Amino acid sequence: MYGLVNQAVEDFVRRGFGDAAWQRIREGAGLSHEMFVSMDGYPDEVTYKLVGAASEVLNLDAAQILESFGEHWVLYTAQEGYGEMLSMFGASLEEFLGNLDNMHSHVGLTFPDLRPPSFQLERVDGGRGLLLHYRSERMGLAPMVIGLLKGLGRRFDENVVVRQTAHRGLDDHDVFRIDRIGPVAAGASPQQ
């Protein structure tokens, strides 16, 4: 994956757990790079090893790490100059989720070797619920999608409950149900 993803993992660890934790994770993952270059491509294995080492050093499930990382990704990309791109593809959570493939196609203009996931949005229960179908050539990243959806809920000021309703392996692909339960309460932590 592009270095941007690994940089975001580094930022997530340093902010949440400190620089010393990052050094231990970097060593645990056996990384020789001192730093990641956002536009360089790295084997997917690098990202998976980082998550594995983070799980050991921080004593957290890999799934928990991926979920928190997904939430962080929404903030991180906005901070790293992709906020406008996030804004371009929807003024509401629903509109944005319907445009995820268009958004990644647009990202592909900057990152030409991008191998993006694919998402398809379905409205259910008269629009009260949303189903997001997720397909990827990579394995094991479903928890990250849960975090991404929570982070996007916050970005769009919508309180969301997210559940995974189908699992690749058991089912054909991963599906997430999103229920919007109103705006984020006043006084809640400010969004980016």
**Identity of the residue, 24 or 96, whose beta carbon is nearer to ligand HEM in the bound complex:** 96
Closer residue to ligand HEM, CB minimum distance, 112 or 126: 112
| 53 versus 145: smaller Cβ distance to ligand HEM | 145
Which one, 114 or 166, has the nearer CB to ligand HEM? Answer: 114
- In degrees rounded to 5, what are phi and psi of residue 97? -65, -30
Smallest separation, CB 137 to ligand HEM (Å): 6
Provide the minimum distance between the beta carbon of 28 and ligand HEM in the complex, in angstroms, as a whole number.
22
| Footprint on this chain of ligand HEM (rule: CB under 6 A) | 1-2, 4-5, 74, 77, 82, 85-86, 100, 104, 107, 111, 114-117, 136-138, 141, 144-145, 148, 152
**CA 22/CA 120 separation, integer angstroms:** 35
Closest CA to 121 of 113, 129, 112, 130: 130
| Closer by beta carbon to ligand HEM, 52 or else 117 | 117
**Euclidean distance between CA atoms 192 and 132, whole angstroms:** 24
Q: Nearest distance from residue 187's CB to ligand HEM, in Å?
A: 26
Minimum CB separation of residue 188 from ligand HEM in Å reads 20
CB of 72 to ligand HEM, least distance (A): 12
Q: How many CA atoms lie within 13 A of 38 on its CB side?
A: 12
Query: How does DSSP assign 76-141, residue by residue?
Result: HHIIIIIHHHHHHT-SSHHHHHHTHHHHHHHHHHHSTT----EEEEEEEGGGTEEEEEEE-SSSS-
